[in-house]
Chain A
Amino acid sequence: MSRAADQGGDVTPTPDGDDGQAPLATAWRGSAAVGAAETSEGAQELSSRAETDPLVLDVEQGAVLRLPEGVALDPTDFDIEPSDDETMIINLGPQHPSTHGVLRLMLELDGETVLRTKPVIGYLHTGMEKTAEDLMYVQGGTNVTRMDYLSPFHNECVFALAVEQLLGIEIPERATWIRMLMLELNRMSSHVLFMATNGLDMGATSAMIYGWRERELLLAFFERVTGLRMNHNYIRPGGVAADLPDGWRADVEHLLHVFPRRLDEFDELFTNQPIWRARSEGVGVLSQAQAVALSATGPVLRATGVPWDLRASLPYLNYDQVSFDVITGTFGDVFDRYAVRINEVRESMRIIEQILELMPAGDYRIQDAKVTPPPRSRIDESMEALIHHFKLFTEGFKVPAGEVYVAIESPRGELGCYLVSDGSAKPYRMHIRAPSFANLQSLPVMMRGGLVADAVAVISSLDPVLGDVDR
């Protein structure tokens, strides 16, 4: 069950140790200087053309669409594919400032032009789906929230919705509206972070500073409501963990007041700026058919022109009671993906304004004693409350057997939770359909024929979160 590598071979001293003392002996395979052999991932990497299967070559080149009877559409202008000794395979990552986490990308280049791309992932694989089988449903949120760590509320929400569907319970209206509020604020903070990192990757270092200034406002609000800036475990099966604090309305109104002007600053800095446009227009183009074939969802899909947004098409929570537009692009290039996201921030603000009006009073979580722990103050008064509290936190509530798939629209695309229960207090199988995992498949198509300097812009425009990809 472990790496079938040589365990504790010869321990060679590190190069700069000049007194011959053995370096730190660690529990992990000794501390011998690690070379390329240790970090090689063999068959997962990009190999030379001669060694690669033609079907795999097609995938790496982004030849996605198949005409009937196996005729492949060649998505490039190149007449002749160069031979192996004219091209160079380079490795980008997994430690790299511009790959949004530990994404490793292998590119085959002809000069500066990218011919083939192969993402190698798994550098952040955390075994969360396996861990989920060991955690009770009330703990499941802590696990799931760390997958797409830029939109933790979305992860928690999809898990909670799946559990509630299996339980067959209806949560109170206020809980639903609170969830929607946090989800939309999270969408704003995630898209603002996208703009920050996208700007940084394209060379505008100040984008990070601007983006984080905005994000800190939102994180301060999250901290007020949930107690944490990130990875909140706030949305739980049955409702939310705590009610909104006093004064939340003023905070949200302040945010809505401040944000439009800040977004306009982004518009000035980026949208109308010639360098930005030259770097992003026409770069990393994805067509509608390719995006749908590659299971891309979210802004990546909408930028190609497909108006598919789960909030509008297959509404969940109370999204059918608020009005908002589905933002679509036209060309599916880097600029369109940026434009879709910045306008989605504006749409989120619109939704939040409506939530502010429509937020009802009521319970913030279902009052079913079998699912929701009793309020802490009651534990002192009532034996029953104490027993329920004890049972819920040591054994957890049992969920009837069955399986369900629930999906919501996270800032990255369709985030789904496939949950199988065997009737016990822990999930039998939990699978999260990660949007970034599927979106990464569009990389070869988008990179093909572009310059290596655009590679970073393209990856950044996909906005992958490796926690989501690798889980």
Chain B
Amino acid sequence: MGLERLNHNFLTGTLEDVVKWARYRSSWPATFGLACCAIEMMGTGAANFDLSRFGMEVFRASPRQADLMIVAGRVSQKMAPVLRQVYDQMTEPKWVISMGVCASSGGMFNNYAIVQGVDQIVPVDVYAPGCPPGPETLIHAILTLHTKIKDGEITRRRKETGAGANLDLGGTGRGEVLIPTGRAGGGRSRP
């Protein structure tokens, strides 16, 4: 059950908050460590930096059981369809953090072998720069993602850009989910 089928009104507002809270408090990453960034990701999951305090220490191997894909490392041409396949297998709601400069933009490898940014393949929610980004940077990226989930900004941006599964969330109960109306100047409807 998600937020999608609800008739959003003042009664469901608190429910939406609870669902969002549950989502960002336990977004389980899928194991998608590719290269050096994966080592820093493992380090973030380990005791010194500890992702467990965010409820994320369980790296699920099966994409069906994961919410979050942290693309950690450079994506080669051969890996690109695999990346897309794993992303497609993940169930909604799902988020993507592009960890490291190679995943965000191709990094220092601007050549035939590396896809210049995973946003060419999957929609990315948060970019974490660094080569590799230290655990602090990755945690900052994760917390940014959590804030976005909490604010509902992610669903709003996906509606704008057409990314993600394009779920229509209807009106809002308490202004948490903002749907752009396409009015000039970028208005937002708050029914």
Contact = CB atoms under 8 A, between A and B. Distances in A.
Interface residues of B, number: 57
B121 A26 contact: yes
A97 B59 contact: yes
Contacts of A26: 119-121
A49 to B, nearest CB: 26
A376 B72 CA distance: 35
B40 A208 contact: no
A212 interface: yes
A231 B36 contact: yes
Contacts of A229: 40, 132, 134
Contacts of B113: 125-127, 130
Contact of A149 (B35, B59, B76): B35
Contact of A39 (B77, B81, B115, B168): B81
A150 B36 CA distance: 8
Interface stretch (B14-22, B43-51, B144-152, B172-180): B43-51
A212 B42 contact: yes
Given A95-B32, A123-B78, A149 B39 contact: yes
B82 interface: yes
Contacts of A123: 34, 76, 78-79, 82
A459 B98 CA distance: 28
Nearest to B63: A95
Contact of B31 (A18, A31, A34, A97): A97
A142 B88 contact: no
Interface residues of A, number: 57
Interface in A393-437: none
Contacts of B47: 209, 212-213
Contacts of A131: 108-109, 111
Contacts of A215: 43
Interface in B132-150: 132, 134
Contact of B78 (A21, A122, A128): A122
Given A23-B166, A212-B46, A231-B36, A95 B77 contact: no
B6 interface: no
Interface string A292-315: 000000000000000000000000
Interface in A91-128: 94-97, 101-102, 122-128
B167 A18 contact: yes
A208 B42 contact: yes
Contacts of B63: 95
Contacts of B73: 124
A102 B79 contact: yes
B36 to A, nearest CB: 4
A186 B16 CA distance: 49
A369 B118 CA distance: 42
Given A19-B168, A212-B43, A125 B76 contact: yes
A105 B90 CA distance: 22
Contacts of B189: none
Contacts of B7: none
B122 to A, nearest CB: 8
Nearest to B113: A127
A124 B74 contact: yes
A239 interface: no
Nearest to A41: B78
Contacts of A27: 120
Contacts of B30: 95
Contact of B80 (A22, A28, A122, A470): A28
B38 A101 contact: yes
B131 interface: yes
Contacts of A290: none
Given A19-B166, A101-B34, A229-B40, A213 B112 contact: no
A25 B108 CA distance: 25
B36 A124 contact: no
B120 A28 contact: yes
Interface string A127-151: 1101100000000001100100110
Given A25-B162, A131-B109, A230-B36, 11 more contacts: A17-B165, A26-B121, A34-B84, A34-B88, A39-B85, A126-B76, A127-B109, A130-B112, A149-B39, A209-B46, A213-B47
15 contacts: A16-B165, A26-B121, A27-B120, A95-B31, A102-B82, A122-B76, A123-B76, A124-B79, A126-B109, A127-B113, A146-B35, A208-B42, A212-B43, A216-B43, A467-B36
